[in-house]
Amino acid sequence: MSEDRFPRGRTAIVSTATYGMGEAPGLSSIDLAVSASVRALGAVGLAPSDVDGLFIALPDDFLSGLTFAEYLGITPRVTDNNRTGGSAFLTHCMWAALALEAGQCDVALVAYGSNQRSAAGGLVSAMRPTAYEGPYRLPRPVGAYALATSRYMHQYGLRREQLGAVAIAARQWAGLNPDAFMREPLGMDEYLASRLVCDPLSVRDCCLVTDGAAALVMTRADRARDLSRRPVYILGNAASTHHRDITSMPDLTTTAAAISGPRAMAQAGVTPRDIDVVEVYDAFTINTLLFLEDLGFCAKGEAGAFVEGGRIAPGGELAVNTNGGGLSCVHPGMYGLFTVVEATQQLQGTAGARQVEGARLAVAHGNGGELSSQATMVLGTEETL
Amino acid sequence: MIPSSPSSPSAASSGAAADVLKPEQAYFAFLAQGRFMIQRSRSSGEHVFYPRVAAPRTGALDLEWVPASGDGIVHATTVVRRKPPEPAFNVALVELAEGPRMMSRVEGVAPQDVRIGMAVKARIDTVDGKPLVVFDVVQ
């Protein structure tokens, strides 16, 4: 491969917004995405007409880039509605950084919204089973993640209590976040007694089904300092994938985050040990374990022990999913953009009761499909440049 | 077109529609004849499942149909829980002796008794009037 170049620190997130977190009846997915977008833009004195780089993927609209441009009456120079599942938004940020750096656009907007809780009442997946797999009636995506979990348990002796530690930590962080959907404490007994969906995963291993929207605004670093008191710089950003359906995953216990993570961190010139805040796409409890390993925070097979004893909970050694994650904060179909929004808020020091003191470096990690598409961002404050 | 022999028409001859490899149609037509067939790349010898028009990585257009041995090992397994009284059922990933993995289910034992590492053997079942590969535990 050619040299892995990325414009480290030359672009920045200047503003983020969320909207309709939890339940937002009466609004469509595009209504929600626009609601978050105009707020993110307005907070730094920008209007939709300033946006010349548009990055969006809605769950129910394969042409959402066109829909969004029409809705707000804008004519972007760059329109991208690439969809790699829930990781898409982190790939959007990567392309936005490259487009900004190349002078293809000056103000990039990354947006997402979904009304899946109010409209559908269940997770809406873009995945369609093939003729080879449909007849076996695996509920997807949960069944695919359950298969991966079974394999991980077989290889590494993972216990359900260790998956429970992930769910409980997420709920503890959610308890500190007024925007989180499920904030009441979750105990281990309750976790272990929760209804199985696809063994070994129970309802408490599964992400929420909510409405919600998020948006962020990116510019080149020089302009970022004029727009924001505390820009958050993109230090590294890389993506990888090697399959769509779980059946074709080369190793059910190792995701392509083992490729995207080291690449993003090398671009940023940091190691996992340097990271203050970790936001990973926890569609299911097994995700957090796999990503902690694949991103290099612990060795393969050791994440179960790593998360025990409150190590990733508030007050623990490593702050993971500080908003409560997809498990307890918000999961409107695709959660990826919310990892970046939370990482940004932590680095801007605006995370309230859940603020990680002195956070300077954050990793946001998105997952798409069935542990398929992985995208990693390393974000930093001005001091890390 | 119902394939009549294990070897598909040559992939190198790309002219007439009848000569074009149609992976999904051919696979299910074989199954309907009671034959569990998978593909193998002539150049590399690598077996391929699910059926494709080109071999992964090499892109070789030399995939031919060969009988699967039907031997497999359970690679991953789950119990799909349903609202009672609908019974729970098994879904497993089976690693075929030839190398590729496929999604299926293991029958003849309770869904929660399917174990990773179990030796299983393919059987063609009929579900909703269509042929489907399922696996039985090898005793």
**What ranges in chain A are assigned the alpha helix state H?**
29-42, 64-72, 88-101, 116-119, 142-156, 160-174, 188-193, 221-227, 257-268, 285-294, 303-306, 325-328, 336-348
Is the Cβ pair A150, B116 closer than 8 Å? yes
Phi, psi dihedral angles at B102 (to 5 degrees)? -140, 150
Average pLDDT of chain B to the nearest whole number: 90
SS3 A304: helix
pLDDT confidence band for B16 (50 / 70 / 90): very low
Residues 100-139 of B with CB under 8 A from A: 101-105, 112, 116-117, 127-128, 130, 132
Q: Do residues A64 and A184 lie in contact, with contact meaning Cβ atoms separated by under 8 Å?
A: no
- For residue B10, pLDDT over 60 is answered with no
Q: What is the pLDDT of residue A1?
A: 67
In this complex, which of A135, A139, A245 lies closest to B132 when CB atoms are compared? A135
Enumerate the CATH 2.40.50 domain ranges in chain B, comma separated.
Answer: 71-137
**Which residue(s) pair with B37 in the sheet?**
B67
Of A246, A334, A245, A244, the C-alpha closest to A61 is A334
Residues in Cβ contact with B38 at an 8 Å cutoff, skipping those fewer than 6 apart: B47, B48, B49, B51, B65, B66, B68, B96, B98, B100
How confident is residue B1, by pLDDT bands cut at 50, 70 and 90? very low
Given this model, what pLDDT does residue A303 score? Answer: 98
Residue B3, pLDDT above cutoff 50: no
**Cα gap B38→B63, rounded to integer Å:** 9
Close Cβ partners of A376 (under 8 Å, ≥ 6 residues apart) = A90, A236, A237, A238, A239, A257, A260, A261, A263, A264, A265, A295, A363, A364, A365, A366
Q: How far apart are CA A138 and CA A244, in angstroms?
A: 15
Q: Please check whether residue A339 is in contact with residue A364, taking contact to mean a CB–CB distance below 8 angstroms.
A: yes
Beta carbons of A151 and B117 less than 8 Å apart: no
Q: What is the pLDDT of residue A128?
A: 80
Angstroms from A356 CA to nearest CA on chain B? 38
pLDDT digits (tens, 9 = 90+) for A119-140: 876 666 666 889 999 999 999 9
pLDDT value at position A252?
A: 98
* Residue B2 pLDDT greater than 50, yes or no: no
Establish if B32 touches chain A: CB-CB under 8 angstroms. no
> A-chain residues within 8 Å CB-CB of B103?
132-133, 136, 138, 245, 247
- The Cβ of residue A308 has, within 10 Å, a number of other Cβ atoms equal to 16
Angstrom distance (rounded) from CA B58 to CA A269: 35
Alpha carbon distance B134, B114 (integer Å): 13
Say if residue B58's pLDDT is above 60.
yes
Give the distance from CA A113 to its chain's centroid. 13
At residue B139, the pLDDT reads 84
Alpha carbon A299 to its chain's center: 22
Domain B71-137 CATH (choose: 1.10.20, 2.40.50, 3.40.50, 2.50.20): 2.40.50
The whole-number pLDDT of residue B46 equals: 98
In DSSP terms, B133 is beta-bridged to B124
Query: In angstroms, rounded to a whole number, what is the distance separating the alpha carbons of residues A361 and A343?
Result: 9
pLDDT digit string, tens, across residues B85-129: 999 999 999 999 999 999 999 999 999 999 999 999 999 999 989
Minimum-distance CB partner of B116 among A131, A154, A199: A154
Which pLDDT belongs to residue A26? Answer: 95
d(CA A342, CA B122): 48
Task: List the domains of chain A with CATH numbers.
Answer: 11-121+208-384 (3.40.47.10)
Q: What is the pTM of this model?
A: 0.95
Query: Which chain B residues touch A248 with a CB distance below 8 Å?
Result: 101
Q: Kind and range of the H or E element at B27? A: helix B23-32
Give pLDDT, residue B14: 45
Chain centroid to CA B12: 24
| Chain B residues within an 8 Å CB radius of A196 | 79, 81
Both structure tokens of A304: 């179960």
Task: Please give chain A's pLDDT, 385 residues, in tens.
Answer: 688 999 999 999 999 999 999 999 999 999 999 999 999 999 999 999 999 999 999 998 999 999 999 999 999 999 999 999 999 999 999 999 999 999 999 999 999 999 999 987 666 666 688 999 999 999 999 999 999 999 999 999 999 999 999 999 999 999 999 999 999 999 999 999 999 999 999 999 999 999 999 999 999 999 999 999 999 999 999 999 999 999 999 999 999 999 999 999 999 999 999 999 999 999 999 999 999 999 999 999 999 999 999 999 999 999 999 999 999 999 999 999 999 999 999 999 999 999 999 999 999 999 999 999 999 999 999 999 9
Give backbone dihedrals phi and psi of A237, rounded to 5 degrees, phi first: -165, 115
Polymer length in residues for chain A = 385
CA distance B33 to B10: 21
A225 exposure class (CB count in 10 Å sphere: 0-12, 13-18, 19+): middle
Distance CA A68, CA A45 (A): 20
Please state the rounded mean pLDDT for residues B9-25: 61
Which residues are within 8 A (CB) of A223 and not within 5 positions of it... i.e. 6 or more apart?
A106
- Largest Cα–Cα separation, chain B: 54
| For chain A, the helix, strand and coil percentages under 3-state DSSP, each to the nearest 5 | 40, 20, 40
Inspect the interface and report whether the beta carbons of B81 and A198 lie closer than 8 Å.
yes
* Phi, psi for residue A284 in degrees, rounded to 5: -140, 160
Min Cα–Cα distance to chain A from B13, Å: 26
